[in-house]
């Protein structure tokens, strides 16, 4: 992530989340990482839902555009409580993904913010939804 991209991410995403979170760079995932306790969960989720245009869970990730799923790879294999928030690139910001990871014991959460190499549009989202619907329709038609 370039210094300019880091500044954009900090200004657009981390600043609204508040100064109670401590972020660090995670080289392995090429992402900004923070960890926090469950008490902050609800407030952070409200903010994330304002900042990101898409929220994916275990069931809905199947409807994500293929380029997005391809870039996120193994991260799209979500468990019940895990979420991925995304927003397409704009004139001001690169495309972003935020990975919401509750730890198994339920007391700690982690979040990773990743700048995506790809972007997607509303048309890509609609096409992915239509493609999934067509697959389901064809499967039911065959039965």
For the chain, how many structural domains are there in total? 1
- Of residues 80 and 139, the one with the higher pLDDT is 80
Give per-residue pLDDT as tens, 129-138: 665 555 555 5
CA pair distance 55, 33, nearest whole angstrom: 19
More confident residue, 137 or 86: 86
**Cα 103 from chain centroid (whole Å):** 17
H helix intervals, the chain: 3-9, 15-17, 41-51, 66-72, 122-142
d(CA 42, CA 102): 12
Q: The domain containing residue 85 runs over which residues? A: 3-142
DSSP 8-state assignment for residue 14: I
Percent helix / strand / coil, the chain, rounded to 5: 45, 25, 30
Query: Would you say residue 24 has pLDDT above 70?
Result: yes
Q: pLDDT tens-digit profile of 32-60?
A: 999 999 999 999 999 999 999 999 999 99
């Amino acid at each position: 992530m370039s210094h300019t991209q880091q500044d954009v991410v900090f200004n657009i995403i981390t600043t609204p989340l508040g100064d109670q979170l401590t972020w660090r760079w995670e080289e392995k995932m090429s992402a900004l990482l923070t960890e926090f306790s469950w008490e902050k969960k609800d407030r952070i989720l409200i903010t994330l839902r304002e900042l990101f245009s898409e929220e994916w869970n275990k069931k809905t990730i199947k409807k994500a555009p293929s380029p997005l799923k391809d870039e996120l790879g193994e991260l799209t294999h979500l468990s019940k409580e895990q979420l991925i928030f995304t927003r397409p690139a704009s004139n001001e910001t690169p495309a972003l993904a935020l990975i919401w990871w509750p730890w198994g014991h339920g007391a700690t959460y982690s979040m990773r913010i990743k700048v995506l190499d790809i972007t997607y549009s509303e048309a890509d989202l609609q096409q992915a939804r239509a493609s999934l619907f067509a697959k389901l329709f064809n499967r039911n038609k065959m039965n």
